[in-house]
Structure 1
Amino acid sequence: MDIPYEVLVYLFEYLPKSDRAAASETCRSWYLAANDHIFLKNKVAIFYKSVLSDETFSPINIFENALITYYNYLFNEVEITNKLNDFWEKNGVNIKCLTLRNCDICEKVFVHILQNCQNLEALHIQSCKELFMSGRLLEGKTEGLLANNLENLKCLSLSGNQYLTDVLVNRFISAAPYLEELNLSSCSLQFHLGLVKKFYPPGSDVFHNPSESVLTFYFILQLIVAKAKTIKHLLFSNTLIDGAALKSLSEVDNLKLETLQVHSCDQLTNTGILALTTHQTLLKALDIGLCTRVTDQSLVHICKNLVHLEYLNIQRCRAVTDLGIAELGKLKKLKSLNISQCELITKDGLEKGICAEENNVLEELDIHSLNLDQTGVIMISEKLPSLSSLDLSYCFNAVTDTSIQVIFKNQVLLHTLKISHCDKVSDAGLTGMGKIETDGNNDDDGPIMSSMDNVQAPLKIHLGSRAEEEIMRDARRKRDVMRMCEKLTTDTYSGYSLARIKGLKELDISGCNRITDVSLTYAFNFKELFNLNLSRCQQITHEGIVNLVKNCPSIEYLNLIDCYNLKDEAVTEVVKGLRRLKQLELRVSFINILCNVFGISEWKAILQRFFKFYMYLHILT
C-alpha cells in the first residue's frame, strides 16, 4: 500500500535536508514529497562560474525542465545573456528570490528578467558594476520598469555597487511600493553636506531631479521618510554613516525599525546610538560590530531601552568594558549575542550580565578571543543551558580539558561548537577521561580520573629540548587515555565526552594540536554532523580517519588542511566512505599523491563514482 503524499511530507519534516535528499532517490512519489513547497521555499539553486550560454549543455536547462518548481536562484560570477530569455519567460513567474553576484549582465537583459519576475519578493544585486556604470538602467525611455512593476518586492539589496546614484536607487524603489528591507552596505554613500547643497539647493524637490552623479545619504533619508510606514529593516554596514546621520534616521516620523545593521562603521558614535535607542524601541536585531567608537554608554542605553532585542552584535567594540556588559541581563528576550574580540570584557562582566541567573532564552553565543579563564567558561556552561551554538575559538586559557567537559555535561542541546586554536584541549577532555573539578559531591556518573599526572617522575635528567619533552608527554597522555577508553564501553559509561552532544551538526577543532586518533575513535559518533574542521590537527592519522568516516557518515564539508600525518590512504578513505561529501579542503601535496597513485583519469573517475552531489575540492598551494 502506498503511503499518502501528505503523510510522507509530514514524516520528511523530521529529517535533515541531506536525509531528505537521499530519501528522494527512492521513487517518484518520495521525490515529489521530499521536494514539496514546504521544503523548497528556502532552497536555493546556485550557479557558480557556470557557462549558461551553451544551449546544449547549460545547467540551467535542468531547472527549466524540472518536475518541481524552484523559487530561489543565485547567480555568482556568471554571464547572463539574452540566450536565457526563454528560461525567464517560462520560470520567472515562480521566482521569489533572485540574487546576482559579480555577474556580467547588460541593462536590456536585466529589464527583461524583472519584467518576467513579477512575483519577486527579494532582489539582491551585489557588485555588478557594469550594470550600473552607464547610469541609464531602468531609465524608462526604452524598456524601463512600469510603476509598481515590483509590487511584491519586499527586500532590495544593492550592496557593493560603487556606481550607484540617487536616480538609480529611486527607479528601483519607485517600482516597489511595499518595500520592507533596504540594503546599501558597502556602497559609496556620501554624507558631506557640501554635496547635498550642490545637487539639492534649498527648496528643491529631491524626487523631481535626483542626482545622476552621486549617492547621497540625504536622498536616501528622503526615500525612507516617504516609505516610513513600510520600511522595517535597514542595512548600512561598511559605510561612512556617523552619529549625526543615524540620529536623523532614528527620528523619522512613523519609522518603526525591527532590524538595523551598521557593521564596520568607524564613524558611528554614541550620539547616534543614544538617539536610536530613544526613538526605535521596537528593534529586534542590532549589529554594531566593529564600530570602534561605541562605548559602555551606548550599551547601557541599548539594554535599558531596546527591551525587545533578540539579536545583538558588538564584535570588536574595543571600548566596551565590564560596565556595559553587566547590563546585558536586562535584555530578557535576547536569543543571539556576539561579544567576541572585546578585549576589556572579563568574567566579572559576564557574571553580572547574562550569567546573573539561569538563562533559558539565549541560544547563540559568540565569545571567541575573549580574555577569560576556565572558571568563566564553566560559569557560562552552567548558567546558559539552552545554547545551540557556542563559539569559544581563541580562548586560549579558558578552554581546557576541565572546562570542555563541563560544556559536554551541560550543553547537550548544542548544534554548533567552535573551539578553534584552543590548544590546551586534548584527548582526555574530548573523551571524558581527564580530570574535572566537581562541587564536592562524589557522583557515581562523574568522569573517571586519569592518574597520568600523578605518576611520580623518574629520577633522571632529560637531555632533550622542551619541544621533545612535550612530544613525549603527549605520547604518554595519548597512551593512558587510549588504555582507559579501551577498558570502557558505551554501555557502562561514556563520561562527559563530546559524544554526549548527540545532535551536533557543526564542529570546529582546527588548531587543537593535542587531539589525536583517540578522540576520533572514541568521541566521534554523530549521525547528523555535516561540517567538520580538523585543519592543523597534526597528530591525526589514517587510523582516526577510518573511524571518523564510519561513525560520522553525514559529513558534507571537511577541512584537512595542514594535517601532515595524513597520507594517501586517509584521503582515499574519505573519498570512498563519505558519500555525502560536497567540499573537501586539502593541501596540494595530497592531490599529487592521489594523482601518482591512481592517475589523473582514475582519480576523476573515483570522484564521479562516489559523489552523487556536486563536490568542491579546494586545493591550497
Structure 2
Amino acid sequence: MGYMPSEYDKYFNFGLIDYSEFDINIEPPTPPPIPQNNINTNQEDQVSMQENIDSSQESIENQVKDQEIMPELNQDEQDESLTIETDSDMNYCFDIVSYSLNPECTNIEEVVNYEDTILEPEQSKDTLSSENETFEENEEELESNFDKVPMEIIVHIFKFLNPSDLKFVALVSRKFLSACMYKKLSKNFMLHFVDSYYKEFSVQISQFVDSLRIFPIISLNTGNFDIAAQSFWLDYGLNIEEIYFRNGILRKEEFENIIRWTKNLKVLKIESNSIFATWHIRNDYSERLFVFENCYHISLAKNAFINRKIFDYMVSKAPNLREIDLSYCLGKLNGRDRNMLLDHFIFYLKGYGDTIKAINLTHTLTDDYFLQQLSEVKCLKLKSLSLTFNGCVTNNKFGLIPLLRAQNELEMLNLSESPAVEETILMEISTNLKHIRRLILRKCSHVTDYSLVPISRCEYLEAIDITACDLVTDEGIHDALMIGTPKKHMKELYFALLSNITEVMFVRLGPKFHEQITHLDLGGSTNLADDALQTIFCHFTKIRFLNLDSCCKISDYGLTGKFQNQCYFSIKNLRGLRIFRMQNCYKVTDFALIDSFEFNELRELYMARTHFKREGLEALVKNCPAIEILDLGEVDGVDDDTIEIVTKHLHRLHTLKLNGNEKITERIFDHIYQNCLDIKYLYLRNCPNINADNIMNQLYLMKSLRKVYLE
C-alpha cells in the first residue's frame, strides 16, 4: 500500500510540498490577450471569463480534508532585502500563492455526487463580436470530444494535476473550466492580501467577489481593515475555510468583525510576534457570541504576547478543535508566566483532550515536569506530536519516556533539535509506537548507529529524517532499515549533512527499496560520489524530490552514466522528477545538461555556484519547459544573452535568482518583460552592473512582479 497523506501531515511535514506561486493584480483597464504558453491569472482574466460565460458556478460543500499547506518563501531573506514596489497600485494588489499535494485516491466512489454541485455554464446568448463568435465555434468543436466523459471522472483526474497545470487546463474548454471550479481543486490556491487596502479599492473588491472563482483559503499580511473590507467579509465570508493572519498588529475588534461572517472556517492561524500586543480580553457575553463549529485547527505559533486569557479566548471559538500549534512561543515570557501558561494548557487538555489529536510545541520551552503532566492526561490520544526535548532521559517517571508510553497511538513524532534524544528514547519509540509512520530526528546530535537499531521494528515507517546526525554511518542506516521487519511503506529518506555515509549504503538499500522512494535528501553529504548516484538512478526511478547540494564529488559520469564508451544509468531515468537541487556541484559540466536533463515535470531547479555555460543552459531550458523556479546565482556562464535564452523558453517562470552574477546588466529586464509574463520574484543581490535607480521604469511595466531583492 502506498503512502496516503493524513490530515496531520500538513502541519508537521517535511519534503511533501509541491507548490507554485502566481499573482492576481486587480486593475480596471482592458485585459490583455492571454499568451498561448503562459497564463497571467489576474482579475482582468476573471472579468474576461465573466463576459464569455453568463451563469456562474454554484459552490459545493467540501467533503475532503486538505492535504498540504504551502511553504512560504524565506521570510528572513525578505526582511533583510530591499523591496522595490513595481507599480503604484502594487500596494493594493492581490497575491495568490498555490500549493498542492497530489492525492492518491484509491476509490472513485469517494468523489461526491457532482450532478447537484457542478453545473456546466450555459452558452452565452449575448450579442458578441465576430471574433468572439468564431472563438466560441472553435471552442464548441473542442468541447465535443469530452461531451461523453462524466464530470466526476474529469474532476478525479484533475486532482492529480499541480496548480500550474490546472491554470492551463482551465483554458482548454468550458467543461474543463467547470471542473476546475470544483471547490476541492480551488483549495490548491491561496488568496494573499499583500498590503493594506482602502475605501477607493472597493470597486476592485466588488469585482473580486463577483468573479467565478472561489478561494476558500485567504492569507492577510496586515490588519488594516475599513468599511470596504467589511463588505468583503460580508459578501465572501461564507466561502472561506482557512485564514492566516501574518505580520502587523491585529486589533481584537477587527478580528471579531471578520470571524462573525466566516462561519464555515476550518483552519485559523494567527502567527506573528506582535499581533496580540493590543488585545484586552474582557470575558463578557459579546466575546462568546460567535464560534467556529467546523474549526479543527488553531495555530498561535510565533506569538510573544500570548497569555492565559488569549489562549482561552481562541480555543473557546473552536469547540471541536483537534489540532493545536504553539510552536516558537513563550520565548519572551519569564519563567513564572511560562509555567502558568503551560499548567493552564494541561488543565485545558484534561477537559477537552479527548478531541485533540495533534500538538506542536517545537522550540517552545518545556521541562520534564510538564511532559510528565502531559502523560497523565488520560483522555488524550494523540496522532501527531512535535516538541523540542531538552530534559533528562534517566528518570522513567518524568520527561519524555512516560509520555511516549502513554501516547502509544502516535503516527507522527517530531523531535527535531532535541539534544537529549539517544538510544533510550528510540528504544521506547520502537517498543510503544507500533503505528509510527513519520519519525523526524533532525539535528539530534546524540543519535548514533547503535541508537538507530531499534527503528528496525517500526513496520509501518514511511519517512525518516536523520539530517545532521553527525555520528550516523552506513552501518547504522543498514541496521535500521535493512534488518528486522520489512519496510514496505518507506517513501522518504532524509540523509542530509551526513559526512560519514558512502555509496555502500545505497548499494545495500537499492534492491531493498526498489522503486519505493519518492523523496531523497542528500544535501551536504560530501562523501557521496558518482557510484552512489548510479545506484540511485538504477533503483529509485520514482523520485520526485532529489537534493544533491554540496555533493562536491559528483561529476558528469554520475549524472549521465557515460564513461569510456560505456553507458550505464542516467538521471533521465527519473522521469517524474519535480524538484532538483545541485548547488555547489563544481565538477558537473555542460555535457550533463545537454545529454541527460530532459524532464517534462521539473518545476524547481537550483544550480547556484556551478560552472555551466550558455550551451548547457540553452539545452536545459529547451528540454525542461515546465520550470517555475530557477536559481542561477554565481554561475560563470550567465550573461544577458543567456538570460534572453532562458526567458524565451521558460514561459512558466515566476522566480528567478541571479545573485552574484557580475556579467548581467540592466538589459535583462527587457528580456524578462517581453518573455516572462508571470514573473513574481527577482533576486539580484551582489550584481554590480545593476543600479536600482535606473531600473524603476522597467519594473513599473511588469504587472505581475511582486518583489525585487537587491543589496
> For this structure pair, what is the TM-score category when the shorter chain's length is used for normalisation?
0.7 to 0.9
User: Is 1:133 equivalent to 2:277 in the alignment?
Assistant: yes
Q: Is the 8 A contact 1:240 1:267 kept in 2?
A: no
SS of equivalent residue, structure 1 residue 182: strand
User: Is 1:232 equivalent to 2:357 in the alignment?
Assistant: yes
Q: Give the structure 1 partner of residue 287 of structure 2.
A: 144
Q: Give the structure 1 partner of residue 28 of structure 2.
A: none
Aligned-pair distance for 1:241? 0.9
Q: Is the 8 A contact 1:126 1:159 kept in 2?
A: yes
Q: Is the 8 A contact 2:460 2:488 kept in 1?
A: no
Q: Give the structure 2 partner of residue 437 of structure 1.
A: none
Deviations 1:354-385, CA, capped at 9 Å, x for gaps: 12265331111101111212212322333222
Q: Give the structure 2 partner of residue 241 of structure 1.
A: 366
Q: Distance in 2 between matches of 1:408 and 1:40?
A: 35
Q: Is the 8 A contact 2:356 2:380 kept in 1?
A: yes
The amino acid across from 1:427 in the alignment is D
Q: Distance in 2 between matches of 1:60 and 1:561?
A: 39
User: Is 1:88 equivalent to 2:215 in the alignment?
Assistant: no
Q: Give the structure 2 partner of residue 443 of structure 1.
A: none
Q: Is the 8 A contact 1:189 1:215 kept in 2?
A: no
SS of equivalent residue, structure 1 residue 216: helix
The amino acid across from 2:195 in the alignment is S
Aligned-pair distance for 1:194? 5.5
User: Is 1:171 equivalent to 2:313 in the alignment?
Assistant: yes
CA shift in 2, pair 1:35/1:269, >3 Å = farther
Q: Give the structure 2 partner of residue 364 of structure 1.
A: 492
Q: Is the 8 A contact 2:304 2:332 kept in 1?
A: no
CA shift in 2, pair 1:31/1:150, >3 Å = same
Unaligned runs of 5+ in 1: 197-213, 435-449, 451-483, 486-493
Q: Give the structure 2 partner of residue 392 of structure 1.
A: 522
CA shift in 2, pair 1:617/1:267, >3 Å = farther
Q: Is the 8 A contact 1:278 1:305 kept in 2?
A: yes
User: Is 1:404 equivalent to 2:550 in the alignment?
Assistant: no
**Aligned pairs for 1:60-139 within 5 A:** 63-76=208-221, 79-127=224-272, 129=274, 131-137=275-281, 139=282
Q: Distance in 2 between matches of 1:191 and 1:422?
A: 42
User: Is 1:420 equivalent to 2:564 in the alignment?
Assistant: no
Q: Give the structure 1 partner of residue 650 of structure 2.
A: 578
Aligned-pair distance for 1:223? 0.7
What RMSD over aligned residues (CA atoms) do the two structures have, in Å? 2.5
Aligned-pair distance for 1:567? 1.2
Q: Give the structure 2 partner of residue 526 of structure 1.
A: 599
Deviations 1:436-467, CA, capped at 9 Å, x for gaps: xxxxxxxxxxxxxx2xxxxxxxxxxxxxxxxx
* Among candidates 578, 584, 587, match of residue 514 of structure 1: 587
Deviations 1:87-126, CA, capped at 9 Å, x for gaps: 1111111111111111343221111111111111110000
The amino acid across from 1:618 in the alignment is Y
User: Is 1:377 equivalent to 2:506 in the alignment?
Assistant: yes
Deviations 1:290-313, CA, capped at 9 Å, x for gaps: 011111110111111101111111
CA shift in 2, pair 1:34/1:194, >3 Å = closer
CA shift in 2, pair 1:191/1:314, >3 Å = farther
**Aligned pairs for 1:445-524 within 5 A:** 450=564, 495-524=568-597
Q: Is the 8 A contact 1:303 1:328 kept in 2?
A: yes
Aligned-pair distance for 1:610? 2.9
Q: Is the 8 A contact 1:100 1:124 kept in 2?
A: yes
Q: Distance in 2 between matches of 1:401 and 1:339?
A: 22
Q: Distance in 2 between matches of 1:275 and 1:99?
A: 35
CA shift in 2, pair 1:87/1:426, >3 Å = same
Q: Distance in 2 between matches of 1:331 and 1:260?
A: 17
User: Is 1:347 equivalent to 2:474 in the alignment?
Assistant: yes
**Aligned pairs for 1:231-310 within 5 A:** 231-263=356-388, 265-267=389-391, 269=393, 271-310=398-437
Deviations 1:324-383, CA, capped at 9 Å, x for gaps: 101111111111110111111111111111122653311111011112122123223332
Q: Distance in 1 between matches of 2:200 and 2:171?
A: 27
CA shift in 2, pair 1:121/1:10, >3 Å = closer
Q: Give the structure 2 partner of residue 223 of structure 1.
A: 348
**Aligned pairs for 1:150-229 within 5 A:** 150-188=292-330, 216-229=341-354
Q: Give the structure 2 partner of residue 18 of structure 1.
A: 164
Q: Distance in 2 between matches of 1:71 and 1:56?
A: 21
Structure showing greater Rg: 1
Q: Distance in 1 between matches of 2:250 and 2:431?
A: 48
The amino acid across from 1:531 in the alignment is E
SS of equivalent residue, structure 1 residue 217: helix
Aligned-pair distance for 1:553? 0.7
Q: Distance in 1 between matches of 2:205 and 2:575?
A: 39
**Aligned pairs for 1:571-610 within 5 A:** 571-587=643-659, 589=661, 593-595=664-666, 597=667, 603=670, 606-610=671-675
Higher relative contact order (CA 8 A, sep 6+): 2
CA shift in 2, pair 1:608/1:31, >3 Å = farther
* Among candidates 550, 555, 560, match of residue 431 of structure 1: 560
CA shift in 2, pair 1:191/1:250, >3 Å = farther
CA shift in 2, pair 1:349/1:430, >3 Å = same
Aligned-pair distance for 1:611? 3.3
Q: Distance in 2 between matches of 1:162 and 1:153?
A: 24
Q: Give the structure 2 partner of residue 337 of structure 1.
A: 464
CA shift in 2, pair 1:269/1:289, >3 Å = farther
Q: Distance in 1 between matches of 2:525 and 2:335?
A: 44
Aligned-pair distance for 1:31? 2.2
Q: Distance in 2 between matches of 1:323 and 1:52?
A: 58
Q: Distance in 1 between matches of 2:283 and 2:530?
A: 66
Q: Is the 8 A contact 1:521 1:547 kept in 2?
A: yes
Aligned-pair distance for 1:568? 1.2
Aligned-pair distance for 1:406? 0.7
Deviations 1:187-240, CA, capped at 9 Å, x for gaps: 1179988559xxxxxxxxxxxxxxxxx961001110111111101111111111
CA shift in 2, pair 1:60/1:519, >3 Å = farther
CA shift in 2, pair 1:57/1:80, >3 Å = closer
Q: Distance in 1 between matches of 2:407 and 2:568?
A: 48
Unaligned runs of 5+ in 2: 1-143, 687-711
Q: Distance in 1 between matches of 2:162 and 2:478?
A: 36
Q: Give the structure 2 partner of residue 322 of structure 1.
A: 449
Q: Is the 8 A contact 1:80 1:104 kept in 2?
A: no
Q: Is the 8 A contact 2:181 2:213 kept in 1?
A: yes
Structure-2-length-normalised TM-score: 0.71
CA shift in 2, pair 1:32/1:393, >3 Å = same
Q: Distance in 2 between matches of 1:400 and 1:569?
A: 33
Question: Percent identity over the alignment?
Answer: 26
The amino acid across from 2:478 in the alignment is E
Q: Distance in 1 between matches of 2:519 and 2:574?
A: 12
Aligned-pair distance for 1:320? 1.4
SS of equivalent residue, structure 1 residue 593: coil
CA shift in 2, pair 1:189/1:535, >3 Å = closer
Q: Is the 8 A contact 2:217 2:241 kept in 1?
A: yes
Q: Distance in 1 between matches of 2:363 and 2:476?
A: 29
* Among candidates 427, 435, 438, match of residue 311 of structure 1: 438
The amino acid across from 1:116 in the alignment is W
